[in-house]
Amino acid sequence: MTCLVPLLGDQLSPGLAALREADKADTIVLMMEVAAEASYVPHHRKKIAFLFSAMRHFAAELRDAGWTVDYVALDDLANGQDFDSEVVRAVARHGATSIVTVEAGEWRVIDAQQRWGALTGLPCTILPDDRFLFSRTDFADWAHNRKRLVMEDFYRLMRRHTGILMDGIAPAGGQWNFDIENRKPPRKGMTYPPLPAFAPDAITAAVLDLVAARFGNNFGELLPFSHAVTRDQALVALDDFIRHRLPRFGDYQDAMVAGEDHLFHSQLSSAMNCGLLLPLEVCQAAEAAYRAGTVPINAVEGFIRQILGWREYVRGIHWIAGPDYTARNHFGATRDLPAFYWTGETDMRCLAESVGATSRHAHAHHIQRLMVLGNFAMLIGTDPVQIHVWFLAVYDDAYEWVEAPNVIGMSQFADGGLMGSKPYAGGGAYINRMSDYCGRCRYNVKQRTGPDACPFNSLYWDFLARHRDTLGRNNRLLRMYDGWDRFDAAEQGAIRAQAAEFMAALPGKAEGY
Ligand SMILES: Cc1cc2nc3c(=O)[nH]c(=O)nc-3n(C[C@H](O)[C@H](O)[C@H](O)COP(=O)(O)OP(=O)(O)OC[C@H]3O[C@@H](n4cnc5c(N)ncnc54)[C@H](O)[C@@H]3O)c2cc1C
Ligand code: SF4
């Protein structure tokens, strides 16, 4: 009796359910680098290199631990280049009698997993992914019959459910949420601790050569490459964050600074999302630092809320929203994604900085993603599918379960409010308050109209005016519509003409995308 355990690229956890339940003596772990996955969206080169390197290191670690691993590399001649054909080939190669796998984080891949039984004629068990802190069914139960799926309600439930940052039945520090103390703008002259860098070893060097040869035309800078690609390295990165950046994480969570791509963020999403780190251990490490007195409550609560709250919440939304979630288009938006999302060639400094960070690291921090890149795409009425594909392609932490709710729901409001109670729309004033971008921008953030006016300003008002029929009765937007109504007709006309002129001059799609 031989059991085949196909293990996906984001399942690099030694405690994965399929491994926990397997017997090393009669199990073949199958790991596959396939072109279908590496190219179903035009992934950033660093993202591909990171995942292939982490997979190869994980395979070596499994072998060291006594597992039999069949690793199909991208350039293996017989590689069928998709999961289905590789599972069928492996079953024949090993005379497997059953298949056990852990459910993928994407509907598309779950469909494939559900085919494997019929394709091979073997019993195929798909286990839940229990690395998350709340199951799919528990989330569906929580969401059932609720009028609104409020993240803060879910987060408090998760605090109670896990006991994290709890003193008995009370929240640590006496309140659930310390956001009021967070979100300070960056201070002039502030310095930011460097990230730990991990030099490529021979495995990573081989992957970098492969990616350069096979994905040479993809977006993003491949070198320098310093990602943590093993669990040990990811643990070093976690420790480094807790010591050096977590203490100020809360204060400057929403800040943006030109030339500073990481600030006090953890940069742990790629390691967590592929399984090198588990969310529970990350939260526990942060809580331990707070209990030891090295991290203030506003920082630790703000950080834990992102993982225990937002991360689990968006995953729950992804599963209850169903496979057609990414096709939602509440505003009927149809504009092509402007080419500068791929090239960075724009004189809007906030966008150029954010695309630049994305190109350098396959990473940008939350406010760059939400209030610059996502906000701009929504204001100009970008087709949600195109911006969804962009976000899925360019970030090393992007998998559909986490990317789609953040993009389709949070940043584009394309789901019509399943996730958020109002669109995250903002003008130049927000970006100016939270960053130092505007000072050296070619545009003037204080102006709404005229040749030097910041495009975000007219686009923001035009967006509100354009969608008044659907957004005008939203209580959370009444103040903004009051603001719009205070402009006289001539000013309103000038703002809308400015926005129309700007949008008409936008570049179209980048060639090849
Ligand atoms: C438009 C848009 C797209 C996004 N796409 C992704 C994505 O593809 N993958 C992804 O992991 N995150 C995504 N996020 C959420 C967030 O921006 C990233 O998790 C974060 O920037 C990762 O950097 P970090 O590890 O330094 O995070 P930190 O700021 O240090 O936060 C700590 C952790 O909290 C979690 N987290 C924080 N916010 C969110 C959130 N909104 N949803 C889920 N987890 C969250 C992450 O695991 C993160 O590592 C997106 C956000 C937006 C607005
Ligand atoms: S002035 Fe406008 S376009 Fe320029 S950086 Fe500021 S918000 Fe961005």
Q: Over the stretch 430-451, which tens digit does the pLDDT of each residue have?
A: 999 999 999 999 999 999 999 9
Q: What pLDDT, on a 0 to 100 scale, did the predictor assign at position 236?
A: 98
Distance 256 CA to ligand 2 centre (A): 12
**Alpha carbons 149 and 482: distance in angstroms, whole number:** 27
Question: What is the torsional sign of CA 157, 160, 165, 170?
Answer: positive
Say whether 108 sits in a helix, a strand or coil.
Answer: helix
pLDDT of residue 453: 98
Q: What are all long-range contacts of 387-392, with beta carbons under 8 Å and residues at least 24 apart?
A: 387/337, 387/411, 387/412, 388/326, 388/412, 389/41, 390/337, 390/341, 390/342, 392/41
Determine the average pLDDT of the residues in 131-135. Answer: 97
Hey, which bits of 278-379 come out as E strands? none
Measuring CA to CA, which residue among 206, 227, 223, 230 is closest to residue 75?
Answer: 206
Nearest to 464 by CA among 448, 481, 479: 481
Decide if pLDDT at 145 tops 90.
no
Q: Relative to the CA of 372, which ligand 2 atom is closest?
A: 8
Q: Provide the 8-state DSSP code for 170.
A: E
Name the pLDDT band for 181 (thresholds 50, 70, 90): confident
Number of Cβ atoms within 10 Å of the Cβ of 44: 25
Mean pLDDT of all residues in 239-263:
95
At 129, list the tokens: 């992914």
Residue nearest to atom 2 of ligand 2 (CA): 454
User: What pLDDT does residue 512 have?
Assistant: 82
Residue 21 pLDDT class (50, 70, 90 cuts):
confident
Percentage above 90 pLDDT, the chain: 97
Those residues whose C-beta lies under 8 Å from the C-beta of residue 5, and which sit 6 or more positions away, are: 18, 19, 22, 27, 28, 29, 30, 99, 100, 101
Residue 84 tokens, joined: 């289905």
What is the reported pLDDT for 218?
96
- Mutation probe of ligand 1 site: the residue of 251, 306, 313, 401 with most atoms within 8 A of C-beta: 306
Tell me how far apart the alpha carbons of residues 204 and 207 are, in angstroms, rounded to a whole number. 5
- Model pTM score: 0.97
> Residue 298, Cβ neighbours under 10 Å: how many?
21
* Helix spans in 12-106 (H): 17-20, 35-39, 45-64, 83-94
Choice from 307, 363, 366 to test ligand 1 binding pocket (greatest atom count within 8 A of CB): 366
| CA–CA separation, 288 and 84 (whole Å) | 44
Q: Which atom of ligand 1 is nearest to the CA of 373?
A: 1
pLDDT band of residue 244 (cuts 50, 70, 90) is very high
Exposed e or buried b per residue across 70-100, where buried means at least 16 C-beta atoms within 10 angstroms of its C-beta: bbbbbeeeebbbebbbbbebbbeebebebbb
* Spatial CA neighbour of 404 closest among 420, 392, 417: 392
The pLDDT value recorded for residue 435 is 97
Answer whether 106 contacts ligand 1 (Cβ < 6 A).
no
**CA 427 to ligand 2: nearest atom:** 7
C-beta of 397 in contact with ligand 1 (< 6 A):
yes
CB 253 within 8 Å of CB 270? no
pLDDT tens digits, one per residue of 59-118: 999 999 999 999 999 999 999 999 999 999 999 999 999 999 999 999 999 999 999 999
Q: Which atom of ligand 2 is nearest to the CA of 443?
A: 1
Q: In this structure, are strands 68-72 and 124-127 parallel, antiparallel, or unpaired?
A: unpaired
**CB of 402 closer than 6 angstroms to any ligand 1 atom:** yes
Ligand 1 within 6 A of CB of 358 = no
Q: Is 272 in the pocket of ligand 1 (CB under 6 A)?
A: yes
CA of 365 to the centre of ligand 1 (A): 7
| d(CA 396, ligand 1 centre) in Å | 11
Nearest atom, ligand 2, residue 457 CA? 2
Q: How far, in Å, from the CA of 341 to the mean position of ligand 2?
A: 16
Tell me whether the omega of the peptide bond preceding residue 224 falls within 30 degrees of 0, making it cis: yes
